[in-house]
Amino acid sequence: MKLDREQRELAIEALNNAPPPSLLEDPIEYIFADHFRQRTLCSVLHEIADGSDPDKKLIMAAIKFIQGDFGLHVRDEEQDLFPTLKKCVSPGDELHNTLNQLNQEHEDDRIDAERIVESLQYYMLEVSRGAVNKELRQLLTRFADNESQHLMTENAIVLPIARSKLTESDLKILGESMAARRGVDMKTVSRC
């Protein structure tokens, strides 16, 4: 689907702006909001892959997002959310398999994400006009499709279980850890 001008502006805004720090008081909502931004990234990557002369601002926003907030989000899940959830269910529970599978997908996506950043930076510096090459087009499409599937599993299975299983104490610890990862002092944060 081709993004119109307004959709491109909204996509850039979503990629460039993290959720407000106050949302860290509800860390599952923060993760959900980051998933919206990742779905935006998927649309942007498809747009870059399919464009005859992709928008350079979109490319820059995608590079910045992958290098920054995307990695923070994966660490939120791998280091905090998933281990906390695993403690809430018995070792044989299906959720363990799902979380292990998602961790493996993070690893595969990390490799693709690094290649995407390198290739887009090369495009910006050395090419900067016309469609991206076939290899990069296939890489962008594969990553976006895999990521979309990954987000569906997390939104449909992991986050609802997190909302039902995590205690107030779990959520507080999760939010504080995510805040520390972002250099946010929770004492200075208050919801409007």
For residue 38, the minimal CB distance to Fe ion (Å) is 7
* Nearest residue (CB) to Fe ion, 77 versus 80: 77
* Nearest residue (CB) to Fe ion, 67 versus 133: 67
DSSP letters, 159-192, are HHHHHHH--HHHHHHHHHHHHHHTT--GGG----
* Nearest residue (CB) to Fe ion, 47 versus 77: 77
* Nearest residue (CB) to Fe ion, 100 versus 128: 100
Q: Which residue of the chain is nearest Fe ion when measured via CB?
A: 154
Site string for Fe ion, 74-93 (x = CB under 5 A): ---x----------------
Residues 85/99, Cβ–Cβ less than 8 Å? yes
* Nearest residue (CB) to Fe ion, 101 versus 167: 101
Q: What is the 3-state secondary structure (H, E, C) of 82-118?
A: HHHHHHHCCCCCHHHHHHHHHHHHHHHHHHHHHHHHH
Residue 42 CB neighbour total at 10 angstroms: 20
Which one of the spans 88-96, 148-156, 164-172, 175-183 is the region binding Fe ion (CB under 5 A)? Answer: 148-156
Number of residues that bind Fe ion (CB under 5 A): 2
Residues numbered 39 to 78 that lie near Fe ion (CB under 5 A) are: 77
Q: Among 146, 160, 135, which Cα is nearest to 105's?
A: 146
Q: Which residue in 154, 174, 175, 178 binds Fe ion (CB under 5 A)?
A: 154
End-to-end CA distance of the chain: 36
Cα–Cα distance measured from residue 131 to residue 136, given in angstroms and rounded to the nearest whole number: 10
For residue 44, the minimal CB distance to Fe ion (Å) is 17
For residue 81, the minimal CB distance to Fe ion (Å) is 8
Which one of the spans 60-68, 124-132, 152-160, 163-171 is the region binding Fe ion (CB under 5 A)? Answer: 152-160
Residue 187 CB neighbour total at 10 angstroms: 7
Residues in contact with Fe ion by the rule CB under 5 A: 77, 154
